[in-house]
Amino acid sequence: MTHLRLTMAAVDYDRFRGLQDGRVSVEGIDLEIVPLEVEEIFYRQMKYSEFDVSEMSLSSYVASIGRDTFPYIAIPAFPSRYFRHQSMFVRSDSGITKPEELIGRRVGVPEYQITAGVWQRGILADDYGVQAQDIEWFSGGVESPGRDEKQAISLPNGVTVHPIAAGETLSKLVLEKKLDALLTAHVPHIFYETDKLRRLFPDYKAVEKDYFRRTKIFPIMHVMVIRQEILAREPWVARSLLKAFEEALQLARADLMYRSSLKIMLPWLAEHVSETVDALGDNFWTYGIDPNRHVLEAFLRYSFEQGLAQRQFSPEEIFFPSTASSFVI
């Protein structure tokens, strides 16, 4: 049987390991996986559309819907999820001790449109009454200069985002006391290397557990996208890939639960898994629309409210139609 050959760019996650080591095959497809880091994947996909299948920023994807030039469509597989309270930082001498004190402050973000930032602004608005208009935003590279928004954005009235100067970084501006806080997707090096930056939520795990208890939201960061011209010719590809991603996800879960030896180099892995299950439930990482409807609806509302999405989409509107439901026996 002749298989369709496709390339896929993704981070080397445990939830794709089954595809990489041959335990999972994709019906009708020879899938060549190209493992890359997140920033490189997004840059190469948004700028050059290099891969047939790819991990993609949820925010960049939603903001691209309706743009005729965007050649991809998503399926509801979510390879990256991340609670976002833990990556909100304030300058240690800023005097900021609670989220409400961000009002009127100068805050750095790598890009206004990144998924982490959308979740963080949404959380600040919903839980603490801090609106995007209440903060003066500065965008640019956290560690290296030269980072720009990956696509044009249209900001709501009252929201101001200043690109930082060429040669500057957000971390440098924090050290120079020109910024009061950073909302990021990763932990800045200066957090570890100096005492100039601290977390807005020092006990972030407790805060994130409470957030999940109240909202049942485990934030989705990334989706998987497929080139639209492939699906126009071969619509079955979407379902084949989603089935394979689901199977690989379940294998990753089984590996976490394996107890004869440690498949992951964490000596107290069993305790960590138990803590996670106690806080989030047995099935804490799922694909598909229905199990994640409330998460997707929250994000889609935030994206529209923050001026990124063209309108407030429903979850079904952002995914390839055949992956919005499944057959029942």
The alpha carbon of 37 is separated from its chain's Cα centroid by a whole number of angstroms, namely 13
What is the pLDDT, as a whole number, of residue 326?
60
Burial class (CB in 10 A: 0-12, 13-18, 19+), 43: middle
Dist CA 32 CA 7 (whole Å): 5
Dist CA 89 CA 323 (whole Å): 38
pLDDT-derived band of residue 329, with 50, 70 and 90 as boundaries?
Answer: very low
CATH topology identical between 4-81+220-323 and 85-215: yes
Contacts of 277 (CB under 8 A, 6+ apart): 284
What is the pLDDT, as a whole number, of residue 2?
65
The answer, yes or no, to whether residue 219 has pLDDT greater than 90, is yes
- Mapped onto helix, strand or coil, the DSSP state of residue 81 is strand
* Domain boundaries defined on the chain: 4-81+220-323, 85-215
Beta strands 53-57 and 222-227 are: antiparallel
Dist CA 228 CA 224 (whole Å): 13
The answer, yes or no, to whether residue 327 has pLDDT greater than 60, is no
CATH 3.40.50.450 fits 4-81+220-323, yes or no: no
What is the pLDDT, as a whole number, of residue 156?
84
pLDDT-derived band of residue 67, with 50, 70 and 90 as boundaries?
Answer: confident
pLDDT-derived band of residue 328, with 50, 70 and 90 as boundaries?
Answer: very low
Q: Whose CA is closest to 152, among 310, 40, 319? A: 310
Architecture per CATH, domain 85-215, reads as 3-Layer(aba) Sandwich (3.40)
Beta bridge partners of 106: 136
The answer, yes or no, to whether residue 41 has pLDDT greater than 60, is yes
What is the pLDDT, as a whole number, of residue 153?
75
Dist CA 274 CA 133 (whole Å): 40
Least confident of 65-74, 88-97, 102-111: 65-74
